Amino acid sequence: MKDFLMAWTGPEFRPTALRVALVVGSVLFMVNHGNAAINGKMSRDRWMAACLTYLVPYTVSIHGQFSAHSKTLRSSSRRAGEAG
């Protein structure tokens, strides 16, 4: 878990996660809050939910990248152990 939290804030996976959050988050924002935003009816609670709309795809992207990276490292480690 500590490694995942480091990945969540670290620079290695951030560029991809930010792009995913921007695209997916914007689509979700428009679906879930677009009407309220256009009509000026965004409450404090809605703005907090809107922030989560971007935070969730960011976190999912980091998790996917981190999981794939970890799997690659484990696989490489196993192959190195078999070769030695």
**Whole-model pTM?**
0.82
pLDDT in tens, the chain (84 residues): 888 888 898 899 999 999 999 999 999 999 999 999 999 999 999 999 999 999 999 999 999 999 999 898 888 777 777 665
b or e along 27-45 (b: 16 or more beta carbons within 10 Å of the residue's beta carbon)? ebbeeebeeeeeeeeeeee
Q: What is the pLDDT of residue 1?
A: 81
What is the model's pLDDT at position 47? Answer: 96
CA–CA gap between residue 33 and residue 41 (Å, rounded): 9
Q: Give 40's DSSP letter.
A: T
